[in-house]
Amino acid sequence: MSLWVDDYRPDSIKTLSYHNDITEQIKRLGNSGDLPHILFYGPSGAGKKTRINALLKEIFGPGIEKVHIDMRQFTTPSNKKLEIAVLSSNFHMELNPSDAGIHDRLVIQTLIKEIAQTQQIDANSARKFKVIVISEADCLSKAAQQALRRTMEKYMGNLRLILCANTTSNILSPIRSRCLLLRVPAPSCDQIASILLDIGNKVEIDLPMQLATNIAQSSGRNLRKAILMLEAAHLQNQILSPSTAVPIPEWEIYIKETARFIVRNPSPQSLLEVRTRLYELLAKCIPPPTLIRMLALEISKSVNDRIKPEIIHQAAIYEHRMKGGQKFIVHLEAFVAKAMSIHKREMLNLY
């Protein structure tokens, strides 16, 4: 049994339902005889991966769907073993080098160069190049991006790169200048509600328009999250009504509770309990940047307006520092301590 977000994902350009201007541009790229390096960027849940898959299918045909997953092993200079999951077909390969952490450069230098030096397997294909899709390209270290730039220049003859990122601010300008940039904005709440109603018809459930609108607004214009919330609501309530409560992920509720605890108890003793909560959230695979952003936003909702800019500024500082290493808990705890200090100072000034 698979999730609705996978079952009803568009699998071709014809089935894409919003951002028609981007769809037309993708269609022209797919019908052209060549393909540049492309950088898809936009917020999470906007449909970047769906459009990448639709483009690949337009270029190579249905053979792109015959994929298998390999676990590739790498050995670091310190003899540490790393395993990276690689999704591949005869025409393309999809991977996330940032899964290797600070060793992402090793993945770029070995795996991608190895693929770049090989020719297209299918002799009947009109395109003589392979495509490598790199997820979370904005999470790559600078060293890995520099190695990627050299690969892009050297193996352009039989390799095309499609990068997928949430933002371009963390990607080096030499890489951006070598790619066609395609921004995929988040769908509007009306577009998300329309897609939810369409899915409701396909699974034969009576989805009220008001509930679809509520889910779209609660999802933060994240289509993937909205579909998951709809499925969760259906599992919890077999009969949906306009007043049906929109299900909120437990980890989001836990972060909100943690933020309220930080504001109520800004003390060193409370910091120890917050550390335990942070470890629990990290153990549930919540991305540290998402965690620190949500904490900052939730804390800022409960403090004096005068210190809100300072808390958001400190969150940005510690999120930036977080990219320099792998001990995320250190930076998360440092931000919490700083937020407690700022809030405590403001409380003392008020009295």
pLDDT digits (tens, 9 = 90+) for 137-153: 888 888 888 888 887 77
With 90 as the cut, is the pLDDT of residue 18 above it?
no
The average pLDDT across 172-192 equals 90
- pLDDT digit string, tens, across residues 272-291: 999 999 999 999 888 888 89
Its pTM stands at 0.83
With 80 as the cut, is the pLDDT of residue 342 above it?
yes
Q: What is the pLDDT of residue 125?
A: 53
What 3 state SS string does the chain have? CCCHHHHCCCCCHHHCCCCHHHHHHHHHHHHCCCCCCEEEECCCCCCHHHHHHHHHHHHHCHHHHCCEEEEEEEECCCCCEEEEEEEECCCEEEECHHHHHHHHHHHHHHHHHHHHCCCCCCCCCCCCCEEEEECCHHHCCHHHHHHHHHHHHHCCCCEEEEEEECCCCCCCHHHHHCCEEEECCCCCHHHHHHHHHHHHHHCCCCCCHHHHHHHHHHCCCCHHHHHHHHHHHHHHCCCCCCCCCCCCCHHHHHHHHHHHHHHHCCCHHHHHHHHHHHHHHHHCCCCHHHHHHHHHHHHHCCCCHHHHHHHHHHHHHHHHHHCCCCCHHHHHHHHHHHHHHHHHHHHHHHC
Lowest mean pLDDT among 41-55, 79-93, 258-272, 303-317: 79-93
Query: What's the pLDDT band for 239 if we cut at 50, 70, 90?
Result: confident
- Work out the percent of the chain whose per-residue pLDDT is above 90: 24
With 70 as the cut, is the pLDDT of residue 124 above it?
no
Lowest mean pLDDT among 28-37, 117-126, 216-225: 117-126
With 90 as the cut, is the pLDDT of residue 311 above it?
yes
With 70 as the cut, is the pLDDT of residue 77 above it?
yes
Q: What is the pLDDT of residue 110?
A: 80
For residue 61, CA distances in Å to 53, 57, 309 come to 11, 5, 50
